[in-house]
Structure 1
């Protein structure tokens, strides 16, 4: 409860002067244009409170009240046009480099990046993209990741998932996903060093999308402090790696960090230590919070829905029984997990781990008859389609068969975004989730100890008590 209060309380402390200011504030040139309908909310803080309490409810209510295609709001201190429905998703994904440009909220930059570093340094640059797509996330690399993921998952299960015990899934999911990211991205396996990184990471991800009020008792202040500690430790790692790589060439590098240290841009220049640090932190954040949230939601549905669990168990046991006791999973095994992957996708539909993505309008344009001025920000969000009955009939029902055959209509299922900036780690996340599902389901039947546990939103959907589950080992 204390964490929830520190996350939202600042918005309840708005002084009366803000309200009075909202009455007398002057019109801008935008007011003379045919802008999307909606509300800008409170001055300075906009509609952050309502959005952060429940993004799903926020989007649904405004689509109904204002317009099902687009509405305006103010979030993260910026005027924002929220595009809705498959058409809205298609428009933004298709015009990524035409009307829109990269934008990162200042409140998040303050947490994740170094002071005064250029905003462009937070964007995944061409050098980083090249390393990602040709090395870390290349098909051949992904196939090699599967046994490594399985080995770490087995070790993780032995250490933390004890038969007949009660475990809290969310913190364990975060632990597993972070350790795996450190191993694959940094080749870092020292438990003490991983812990020095993971402790501030937790504060960062818990608070970076909270109310951006920098006061000592707020989640946002803890996120800022966590970001400072995280960057200090990451800079030490980067410097150590640079010293280790002295005298070597690019052909002798192996992991993602080493390649970043050695890579040169089109002008032949090496990236600065701060740029490398910022890019690596972005990678770790992207592979950590949303994946651990998705894994927690999958386990929640498996514990709640015995008929779904039984079908997943049948599929996973067939794979386990085809292998020796010490034989690790392979890419071919992952390809057999078709029903399990449909369960994951249906989970991502009902509980998307990411709220969506922001962009900045580079050139004024019109959409659905409304003007979107230059300088405004845009948002697409899975919440406008994932539970829309026009996109998914009976949307609250958990039904993995929605993804059989050709699956959902284009631009309706968007947990990983779309277009040129679709999440590059989509396949990595698929492997990570399926490997962990295999290791949990083939060992245990799951029982929720708090059947009515609520979900709140803190950057990602979060079970209030961390999803405690009792683990019942299968009878041999």
Structure 2
């Protein structure tokens, strides 16, 4: 009899365990974590490269509802979207949700970059970056950006009949970054960055398996090379500052090195290097893609092109030959900036973002366990007809009164305390580039309108155009 009871008890133990497990995980969002490490990563990456990522997300929503679990880039993940999701992400502090990107981004950009920090560390580093990137500081750099744009157009556009826009825009934004952020003029030291930088950004969204011949492996090696180059620049500028009292505002690294509180440097050398890399990637990719898609749009919308041209010609008429643009000139480019904003609504450079839960948190009636990754698709609100009527129509007038757009619905630069500190920097280089391109050239597309995401939008054939110089009065 005793043996029978013992046997029955042994049978009940796994049943009780399963019942408890079911009960404890009852409110975890529906879905599947898929194959270990890989999960749904390959499916998402394939969808992005085939430009079906929105459909991929919608299929999950249709199957599991507005919140679901999956595994991305080696981490258990919950997918959320919409206005409520954007507000949830941008208003939650470090006690519940902390900054953490995918393992690949963290390893490539470094664990002390702003996207990995929370709480006081985030505030300290963000404050240091904003001191250089805020409008009051950027006003003095408009002329430098103007000079870089004019040099670029002279070297790569003038005299050309056909060209690919995106590679050239990446060259332009890379040179602007090297000049303003690192104080590197054209030449050997700047050229050393280009090849490893291009290799590094290719593996930003990749499965973190460090095996030979993988994108991730190549990106890690390129990241190490860039960090060593930046370390040389930091040491060089530190010596210059100590010997000559160099102007702390001449570039980002000099600015960060000069920031001292209570006799101690505000940022460590590691933080300066990791955040220089972050700004380098953010400023290079997003701005080059936005300018490229504006050029694509202007080729398809002659009425909008004519309105942008009229605004820019009015500004050009008030300038002497060769005189650079000023901050005041940029403030007059209101219609052009609305065109840029509408381009960002239709073709946001960033498809989605990541955070990590610091504790078990409740969202949408489910529990997101501590340590899980949150992947929120930032742009689904951009194409919501309840927020933006006729969302497929390109209409810059939507942004004549930005206060009319509900909060947390237009988020190309993030929101709340996490809004991109480089927002004004991106605005300046985008408007300066558009000014000179539309006043000097007209163009037509030689490639179709298709594009893929890798992970950012990449037009077919790099956006091949036929170029026609304009007569400048």
Instruction: Indicate yes or no: 2:35 matched with 1:42.
Output: yes
Aligned ranges for residues 341-420 of structure 1 at < 5 Å?
A: 341-405=337-401, 406-420=403-417
Instruction: Indicate yes or no: 2:128 matched with 1:131.
Output: yes
Look up the match of 2:425. 428
Of 127, 146, 149 in structure 2, the residue corresponding to residue 150 of structure 1 is 146
CA shift for structure 1 position 61: 2.3
Aligned partners of 1:458, 1:345: CA distance in 2, in Å? Answer: 22
Aligned ranges for residues 248-263 of structure 1 at < 5 Å?
A: 254-263=250-259
Aligned partners of 2:211, 2:130: CA distance in 1, in Å? Answer: 40
Q: Is the 8 A contact 1:182 1:188 kept in 2?
A: yes
Question: TM-score if structure 2 supplies the norm length?
Answer: 0.87
Of 459, 462, 470 in structure 2, the residue corresponding to residue 466 of structure 1 is 462
1:67-115 Cα offsets, whole Å, 9 max, x none, are 23x22221121112222111111121111334111213222223233xx
Give structure 1 stretches of 5+ with no counterpart.
Answer: 1-26
CA shift for structure 1 position 304: 2.0
Aligned partners of 1:215, 1:169: CA distance in 2, in Å? Answer: 34
Look up the match of 1:89. 86
Residues 30 and 148 from structure 1, CA distance in 2 versus in 1: closer, same or farther, beyond 3 angstroms? farther
Aligned partners of 2:172, 2:34: CA distance in 1, in Å? Answer: 39
Aligned partners of 2:339, 2:61: CA distance in 1, in Å? Answer: 28
Look up the match of 1:339. 335
Question: TM-score if structure 1 supplies the norm length?
Answer: 0.86
CA shift for structure 1 position 179: 1.0
Larger Rg: 2
Look up the match of 2:239. 243
Q: Is the 8 A contact 2:99 2:115 kept in 1?
A: no
1:267-295 Cα offsets, whole Å, 9 max, x none, are 83574433322121112112111211112
Q: Is the 8 A contact 1:163 1:472 kept in 2?
A: no
Aligned partners of 2:257, 2:413: CA distance in 1, in Å? Answer: 28
Instruction: Indicate yes or no: 2:73 matched with 1:76.
Output: yes
Look up the match of 1:199. 195
Instruction: Indicate yes or no: 2:175 matched with 1:179.
Output: yes
Residues 120 and 181 from structure 1, CA distance in 2 versus in 1: closer, same or farther, beyond 3 angstroms? closer
Aligned partners of 2:180, 2:265: CA distance in 1, in Å? Answer: 25
Aligned partners of 1:119, 1:31: CA distance in 2, in Å? Answer: 35
Residues 159 and 249 from structure 1, CA distance in 2 versus in 1: closer, same or farther, beyond 3 angstroms? closer
Of 33, 43, 46 in structure 1, the residue corresponding to residue 26 of structure 2 is 33
Aligned partners of 2:146, 2:249: CA distance in 1, in Å? Answer: 24
1:87-145 Cα offsets, whole Å, 9 max, x none, are 111121111334111213222223233xxx678895374443233222x1222212222
Aligned partners of 1:250, 1:362: CA distance in 2, in Å? Answer: 42
Q: Which moved more, 1:30-39 or 1:443-452?
A: 30-39
Give structure 2 stretches of 5+ with no counterpart.
Answer: 1-19
Look up the match of 2:438. 441
C-alpha RMSD over aligned residues: 2.5
SS in structure 2 at match of 1:167: strand
Aligned partners of 2:399, 2:148: CA distance in 1, in Å? Answer: 29
Q: Is the 8 A contact 2:257 2:265 kept in 1?
A: no
Give the count of matched residue pairs.
Answer: 444
Q: Which moved more, 1:338-347 or 1:38-47?
A: 38-47
